[in-house]
Amino acid sequence: MKILVDADSCPAAARELVLRAAVRTGTQAIFAANRIIPGITGEYAQMLLCPAEEGAADDRLAGMAQHGDLAVTRDIPLASRLLERGAAVLDDRGCIYTAENIREKLSLRNFTVSLAENGFAFERSAAYGKRELKAFAGSFDKLLGKLKRQTADPSSG
């Protein structure tokens, strides 16, 4: 099991929480981005510098993902690809992506992108603060604990 992080858009507070959890649980945390992200250090941390091409970091994460991994991304198309590979996926605000909800989220995302491409303004997500970090921490710890138990006892499903 490993933790995969789409590091380009992941807030610093969420990255720090992932790094602490990696150390606490002895789990490798892999951060992928097309630029060096400061603070990605430690025995259980790895920074993957990807080419500056569109989607390169996403492709790298999707290619690495396996059943039982935990991934963090706010990129909904990437979340869909990670789910297909068997990873558990959540965003940095604590939303857990599932096979049941990913189609709706993709549809809404595509509709929003279409509106923006046609000149319609839309409301951006609010700033990342304590509430968002708390929601992320709760969902992240829940999924990490579940996956760690499954790794220790594969029959626990």
Closest CA to 133 of 11, 29, 38, 31: 11
Q: Structural domain boundaries of the chain? A: 2-156
* Half-sphere CA count of 9, side-chain side, radius 13 A: 14
Q: Which residue has the tokens 């869909």?
A: 80
The C-alpha angle 52, 127, 46, rounded to 5 degrees, equals: 40
User: Do you know the residue count of the chain?
Assistant: 157
For residue 101, the Cα-to-chain-centroid distance in whole angstroms is 16
- The pLDDT of residue 123: 64
The CATH number of domain 2-156 is 1.10.10: no
Judge if pTM exceeds 0.95: no
> What's the pLDDT tens digit per position in 14-39?
999 999 999 999 999 999 999 999 99
Mean pLDDT estimate for the chain: 90
Which residues on neighbouring strands pair with residue 45, listed in sequence order? 29
